[in-house]
A and B are shown apart, each in its own frame.
Chain A
Amino acid sequence: MNDAAATAAHPAKPVPAGAYLVPLAVLLLIVPYVASAYQTILLSYGLAFAVAALALNLLLGYTGLLSFGHAAFFGAGAYAAGFMAKYWNVGSMEVFLAAGALSGIVIAALFGIVCVRYTKIFFSILALALSQVLWSLAFKLFWVTGGTDGLRVPTPTLLGGFLGTPADKVAFLSHQYYYYTLGVFAICAGLMWLILHSPFGKALQAIRDNEVRAEFIGIRVRRYRWIAFVLSGMFAAVAGTLWAPLNGLATPEALYWPFSGEIVFMAVLGGFRTFSGPIVGAVVFNYLKAYAVGRTEYWQMLLGVVLVILVMAMPEGIMGTLARIGRRVRGEG
């Protein structure tokens, strides 16, 4: 997506993350001690979704590809945990994560071969169609996947039991599991940040801005798109694996295409042109949805209205708008 005019004079400078990182980290670390168990678990959900939104944005904000099929990877990550638990009798979170990452890589590698030949709307629809293949299989092959009932994902052991055993589930989820999620989130975010600021990341941005020119600079566009797709799928699957123990279940809803739409919503809400946008968007969306579901049975309409307003009036999202205000305040206009 190319709105060069909007950012012509100055490249979008995100609100300088460095200044905020330390106080933010401190805040995140003390959450279980100042907030209720419910709030902490809610934030854990937000962090898991943040990883998914970051993964999506690797493709959207940095490579210029809008995927409406990321539920495939997220759901695959969740089901990987479910399969590990049910068929291999495994309870270790590390194994869950490895299985999730692997499924993400394999599925993204396969889907990617097909998807990266296209751009724009065809890419989006193709990703959607392929993700529906997985959904329909999860739905119909009920003797393997549990059908609409889904697969149970038991509370896993973390670091081989080093962090204590999940005796009291709620306390475990709101303390040990929360810190674990925070840790995995930090690692994933850090890795993605590094990747996107590396020479490879620059090449992706070039592909986003001008794929013909990128080709003529010597970048193998299709190959790099595929690699980005695989990376994105892997991280999205890890997000799904993180989410599964919180939800307790891996269900077809996590593979259903409107959920892909929610992940896109998160990235756009936060601002897909910045690195931190998707993180903010995911956390805010999660709170928004939880609030809406609690208040009204018409929460979908509320979210829909927010999205419409976002697209019409605030397309740069939260972080993008903050950056714009920051520029104005600094007098750069």
Chain B
Amino acid sequence: MAQLLAAQGLRKSFGDNRAVDGVDFFVEEQRLVAIVGSNGAGKTTLVNLITGLLIPDEGTIVFAGRDVTTLPVFGRIKAGIARSFQLVNLFDLMTVLDNVRLAVFTRENKTHQALRLADRDRESEDEARGVLDDFGLTDKWNVAAGGLAQGERKLLDVALAYALRPKLILLDEPTSGVGTREKGQIMDRIESVVRSRGLSAVIVEHDMDIVFKYSDTMVMMHEGRVLAAGAPDDVVRDERVATMLGRTAAR
């Protein structure tokens, strides 16, 4: 499988805090990679570096053969990188349909159109409804995003990123804040949508059951560095990881 994302030697510090301290991170095409690690390990910072919210102090990020290290956010989205957020980030006053349709508009470069009615655009609306179907949100199309239940909000957050038709989707704790049964439902949806369209996904996750059930590769981070990477079964058998997991479990 070809390498879709190759990040090498990434470093990012905030004052004295070395959030990401020499990280190599690779994602292959059509693979689901889970990043795990305790709080403060640098997982979200890594995601922020890859998606463009932050620029690394050192290191390079190559995506689909292109150097995107310093590319601004909209450039990365055009290149095919999209993300969802740990703390759900939606357009609360707009309807669910409007939320997704907006992503369709930007993808289709229609947002500069100021003299056409958005509601008349059949094509974009159909596609947005299609995405809502994929995520099981069809019934709620007319509800304001701020009025959805937490699980539905998490799904919508992912749907927004997905509607951009990225090649790589990064999901920061997509199942946090919901009950176990809902977690499974959310992950089932995400997995089916990702696999069926041949996307690659990176998921930051704390729940090891989910990591084992859904991911192809697991990357364990600690204090800004990668401790181990590989198939989940292999990684877990790694000594350093076992001690880390044991320590975090005891805490």
Give me the interface of A with B, judged by CB distance under 8 Å: 2, 4-5, 7-11, 194-195, 197-203, 205-206, 208-210, 212-220, 224
Contact = CB atoms under 8 A, between A and B. Distances in A.
Contacts of A195: 114-115
12 contacts: A4-B147, A7-B144, A9-B147, A197-B117, A197-B118, A198-B114, A200-B114, A203-B105, A210-B91, A216-B161, A217-B164, A219-B111
Nearest to A208: B93
B178 interface: no
B85 A213 contact: yes
B82 A216 contact: yes
B94 interface: yes
Interface stretch (B72-80, B199-207, B240-248): B72-80
A209 B94 contact: yes
B51 A218 contact: no
Nearest to A11: B144
B111 to A, nearest CB: 4
Contact of A206 (B85, B102, B116): B102
Contacts of A217: 77, 102-103, 106, 160, 164
Contacts of B118: 197-199, 201-202
Contacts, number: 121
B74 A210 contact: no
A206 B115 contact: no
Nearest to B98: A202
A11 B95 contact: yes
Contact of B93 (A11, A215, A216): A11
A10 B94 CA distance: 9
Given A4-B92, A216-B51, A9 B113 contact: no
Given A198-B117, A216-B73, A218-B74, A2 B92 contact: yes
Interface in B39-75: 51, 73-74
Nearest to B163: A217
A210 B101 contact: no
A210 B117 contact: no
A9 B142 CA distance: 9
A4 B93 contact: yes
B8 to A, nearest CB: 24
A235 to B, nearest CB: 13
Interface string B117-137: 111010010000000000000
B32 to A, nearest CB: 21
A314 to B, nearest CB: 19
Given A4-B146, A202-B101, A219-B111, A209 B91 contact: yes
